Structure formats: C-alpha cells, structure tokens
Homo-oligomer: A and B are copies of this chain.
C-alpha cells in the first residue's frame, strides 16, 4: 500500500477502500425516510445502513412519573440478512443477546447526554435503530443517525405544542465514530474487514462542543498505551467534527 503523510504527521497508509487513515467513509443522511414516525432517518456510512426512528409519546414510564422530567431510551437491532451470514432473529430465539443489549444501552446514554430532561417535560422519546446492512460501525452510525431523528421528533413536538422549544431540549449535538489500531496504525472509521482485524477498537461519542459523552475502548487482542489512546482520540475528534457537519447539513434542508 502506498503511503503519504496525513494531518497527524504519520505516514498515511492507503486502506483497502483507498481512504487515508484519518478519512471518514462517505456519509449520507436521508431525513423523512419513512412517513409515519416523528423522526425517521436513513444513515449510510459507506456500506453500513441504519434506519433510525424517533417516536415521541406524551407521558413517561411509571418510575419517572411526577418528576417533571422526560425520558429517552433506545433499541438497536440487526435485520437477519444485514450480515454476510444470516443471523437468527432474537425474536425467534426468544431472548436478546448481550451485544444487542450493550449497544441499545450505549445509544440511549449518548442521546440522553445531550437532552435537557426538564425542557423535555414528562414526555418520552423511543429511538429505534434497525441495521439494514452492516459493514462495521453500526453502533456509531446509529448514534449519529438517531440524533438527527431526535431533532426531527423535537421539532415535531414543538410544532404540536408538546414541548415549548426543541432548541432548549437539545443541549448539544452528539455524533459517534469508531477508531482502531490495525497492524500498529491508528485509523478512523473502520469498515467490517478492518474492524475484524483491529487489535484495539474504540467508539467515541462527542458533543458539538468537543467534549466526550462516551469512550468505549476495548483491546482484547493487544492492550494500548497512553500515546496510542491520544492518537485515537485525535482521529475520533476529527471524524466527529465532520459527522456533525453532515448532521447539520441534513438538518438545514426542509
């Protein structure tokens, strides 16, 4: 693979898909992908495609009643044939797997991290992220797409007088991206073939103000040191800035 210098001062290894190490896959965000939900977004990050819907419901679960606060929750799922080999449906197996649980909880936390629950009032937003096609980074694409669906749902709720102001509910922007170390080289936005070879894998959710909501770094195959961590966070910061630009561009159209 030919190499050039990238912005971080490293040699840039051109990757399988020709990208520089610090380059995102093409992102496409389609709002109003389906008609019925309050927010409905199709996000495509390279070949990864996730349908994200946001359902607004007045009222909150029982444990949250009379708190004056809202609630945001999320569920993630893969269609059986999102992957190269068909995956059995969790509904057929009769239970939800650990990975699904883990990702659903991650998405929920990231979105709650930018929502002012008081401004939302006693209303609930349910996020559904269904992966139509999986090519790595489905959980981070879900977060990035779900944020846009959430904004649409808040605009709908404002228009329909369920909340006073969408802007006050949304304290900040949130997006997420994966980074990893492959054969010793830190890289941004890993597609499946890279992801499965990565020794270290990190998902980073950031706000528009450049702070972190979630850092999940896992290095089952080769622990990483502080210097590597810093490079990975630099890459993630660059990636998230660009994803947030794509979110804003999509949200500007109407």
Partner-B contacts on A (CB < 8 A): 34-37, 40, 47, 49, 51, 53, 55, 57, 75, 77, 79-84, 86, 89-102, 104-105, 109, 112-113, 126, 128, 130, 132-133, 172, 202, 206-207, 209-221, 223-226, 229, 233
B91 touches A77 (CB 8 A): yes
B92 touches A98 (CB 8 A): no
Residue of B at shortest CB range from A96? B91
A199 to chain B, nearest CB (A): 10
**Contact (A94, B92) CB under 8 Å given A80-B53, A212-B219, A213-B218:** no
A219 touches B213 (CB 8 A): yes
A197 to chain B, nearest CB (A): 17
B218 touches A109 (CB 8 A): yes
Which chain B residues lie closer than 8 Å to A209 at the CB level?
223
Which chain B residues lie closer than 8 Å to A91 at the CB level?
77, 89-91, 93, 95-96, 100
Q: Name 27 interchain pairs, CB-CB below 8 A, sorted by A.
A: A35-B133, A40-B81, A51-B79, A51-B132, A55-B80, A57-B86, A75-B89, A80-B126, A81-B128, A89-B91, A91-B93, A94-B94, A96-B98, A98-B101, A102-B102, A102-B105, A109-B218, A113-B220, A113-B221, A130-B130, A202-B215, A207-B223, A211-B224, A212-B223, A213-B220, A216-B217, A226-B233
Residue of B at shortest CB range from A234? B226
Interface of chain A: mostly helix, strand, loop or mixed: mixed
**Contact (A36, B218) CB under 8 Å given A51-B79, A89-B77:** no
A227 to chain B, nearest CB (A): 10
Which chain B residues lie closer than 8 Å to A109 at the CB level?
218, 220
A126 to chain B, nearest CB (A): 6
A128 touches B80 (CB 8 A): yes
CA distance A98 to B105 in the complex (A): 7
A220 touches B112 (CB 8 A): yes
B126 touches A86 (CB 8 A): yes
Report which of B75, B96, B112, B172 forms a contact with A80, defined as CB distance below 8 A. B75
Question: Which of A206, A219, A229 gathers the greatest number of chain B CB atoms within 10 Å?
Answer: A219
A21 to chain B, nearest CB (A): 21
Q: Known pairs A55-B80, A206-B223; list 14 more (Cβ under 8 Å).
A: A51-B79, A51-B132, A53-B81, A75-B89, A77-B91, A91-B95, A91-B96, A94-B95, A113-B223, A209-B223, A211-B223, A212-B219, A212-B226, A229-B233
B215 touches A229 (CB 8 A): yes
